[in-house]
Structure 1
């Protein structure tokens, strides 16, 4: 993609007073237009605006923002010269998991530094309080270690407590991580110095969805949380209060039918983990494995829903043998029972690799925001 095209994409992404969802809707209309309207034509050819459904207020905003193109051109050149990447929504490098989870609300442009291939790997997020209890930090450490051993990426919001523990545990155990910033990526200079080695080794990717030079602000930290959840295939909750970012993120994830695993709390813990489990989260123990004693108390339909979610999570990393599925699930099922169960699931298919039978998720054609 040319620097000129990136300049127009950055200008669209940083345009004030228009929600991200609406910017993406405008882009989709450009993409679906016959003939297709380029990002440059969107700004340079006002004659298209009526066809794209822009209202009078939006037309005025596009006219006003046009004056920012020169400044944004210098910004793009400066960022590229410093090794940053600018990834628009339609780019092949854009993380598919983010579009799948956030759909039309996915960030119009993301700014990164590091190994972009990390975006193509299976990822998990471990979330929780900045002032997490010791048991929650131990849980975080266990889950991050396990993820690293399974070549899964750990997504971190780089906050104190659970976020920082997840990042440190992943890197200490040879794993990889994505750092989702609550600020502009060009203001993370101290972090780039701290993780220079891991970034150059391809083990850390730093990303931001905010204006590149934006300083840390509380509202940006809150706006970053949906990105953390959106970047992960699986979400593990170490500790949650009954309000705040972790709670709202889990509730939103459950509403969207996401697989969310919540640590079963001890009887004397003062947190909302039990409430989140009652609302439909999957209960897991200190090692991140499904709590059998809690599972046994759930209704059969709920147990089946949890088993399906766990199997999908296991297969999302690639083909897995029947034996390994049973080992990872830790269910007291026979090979025959699991085989029949898998064959009944419409989204799962059997395949052969070197004459050995494996199971994998069926691959369908994905739409732009699927």
Structure 2
């Protein structure tokens, strides 16, 4: 792999008359690269196979190779890696989730193998979370980290950071999707200071698809939601505001959590919402955008989420076994669309149970050992049967 070629494809400046359709042009070059076997083969040996218009564009990108090579050198010095969409290390779940919108490259700081984890869940919520929501987020991170799920977050303050700390505290693994470039010093340094042992110890992996030196912007914070959700099997919402609210500048602002939920539905992901007595959470549940996760004496029953996800895995394995045996083709809408194939309609989440809410969600949540042990035994039995 030649990282500089991929960085040029992702971030190189196009002629001004192509800027309005920059994404389409880059995807078209990538399609030709797939036909020839690789981007490197296309640029080094098969450039004349491109239409004349694309040849001009690629040659223009190659003129920017020197500054991009210096940037690649800086990335290597900082221990960051570049993974192209053609690499085996590129997360398969992300390709299936985003289809034609898959980023051509990811910048990775930390252990890259975690991106291929079979079990992962996004834990998301408000930056300005209430104390009880923070407790639930940390408890969720602990629970799923202990159960060998990779916890995926956007690394924002509030719910995100509490989920990260909870997972790391129990020896779990975390993927943090950054809303800035992986070489943006003013944005990255505070995270490195706080989490350097976890990053270099293989427990926390930071990723970004942005230009390496891009600084934080509100639009990047919203755009990273597609990666947070796309890397996960399911999404857990701890606290959300309403879809739109009036900011201090008297302008309407869209909730980032709400945006992530909408993206999850477009990808066919299951969404769970902690049933706190909050306007945003209740609105998501009322509109059918999330399966309510009730609060009981010991807090939310996260085992319910795991059991439902485990059942989906078991059903998928059964369908795949039937396919191999020559049985009628299984319907795998949410699992099979590869890169650049047409988009399939999202699956709507279903809720089979309606539970009673605990009247006092602000209490400290502690796990109940007997309940969790019973649930764990049940899951182990189901796993043995599926094997």
Which bin holds the TM-score, normalised by the shorter protein? 0.7 to 0.9
| Offset, 1:278 | 3.3
CA separation of 1:256 and 1:143: change in aligned 2, threshold 3 A? same
Pair 1:154-2:154 in alignment: no
Aligned to 1:73: 69
CA distance in 2, matches of 1:103, 1:250: 18
User: Deviations 1:182-229 (Å, cap 9, x if unpaired)?
Assistant: 111012133223211112221011111111111112221121121111
What is the 5 A alignment of 1:63-142?
Answer: 63-121=59-117, 122-142=119-139
* Contact in 2 for aligned 1:99/1:106 (Cα 8 Å): yes
| Offset, 1:166 | 1.0
* Contact in 1 for aligned 2:32/2:50 (Cα 8 Å): no
| Offset, 1:146 | 0.9
| Offset, 1:48 | 2.4
CA separation of 1:291 and 1:83: change in aligned 2, threshold 3 A? closer
Aligned to 2:328: none
| Offset, 1:347 | 5.3
| Offset, 1:68 | 1.0
* Contact in 2 for aligned 1:264/1:291 (Cα 8 Å): no
Aligned to 1:207: 207
Aligned to 1:285: 294
| TM-score, with structure 2 as normaliser | 0.70
User: Deviations 1:148-173 (Å, cap 9, x if unpaired)?
Assistant: 11011111211111111111111122
**Tell me, what secondary structure is at the counterpart of 2:214?**
coil
CA distance in 2, matches of 1:21, 1:166: 36
**Tell me, what secondary structure is at the counterpart of 1:179?**
strand
**Tell me, what secondary structure is at the counterpart of 2:224?**
helix
| Offset, 1:144 | 1.0
- Tell me how large the CA RMSD over aligned residues is: 3.1
Aligned to 2:42: 41
Pair 1:346-2:319 in alignment: yes
User: Deviations 1:306-347 (Å, cap 9, x if unpaired)?
Assistant: xxx96662267x77xxxxxxxxxxxxxxxxxxxxxx699635
Unaligned runs of 5+ in 2: 14-18, 244-254, 323-331, 342-387
CA distance in 2, matches of 1:85, 1:37: 19
CA distance in 1, matches of 2:337, 2:287: 33
Aligned to 1:27: 30
* Contact in 2 for aligned 1:264/1:274 (Cα 8 Å): no
CA distance in 2, matches of 1:367, 1:225: 20
| TM-score, with structure 1 as normaliser | 0.73
* Contact in 1 for aligned 2:274/2:300 (Cα 8 Å): yes
Pair 1:258-2:269 in alignment: yes
* Contact in 2 for aligned 1:144/1:154 (Cα 8 Å): yes
**Tell me, what secondary structure is at the counterpart of 2:156?**
coil
Aligned to 1:169: 166
* Contact in 1 for aligned 2:123/2:152 (Cα 8 Å): yes
**Tell me, what secondary structure is at the counterpart of 1:93?**
coil
Range moving further from structure 2, 110-119 or 18-27: 18-27
Pair 1:234-2:234 in alignment: yes
* Contact in 2 for aligned 1:254/1:281 (Cα 8 Å): no
**Tell me, what secondary structure is at the counterpart of 2:279?**
coil
CA distance in 1, matches of 2:108, 2:96: 19
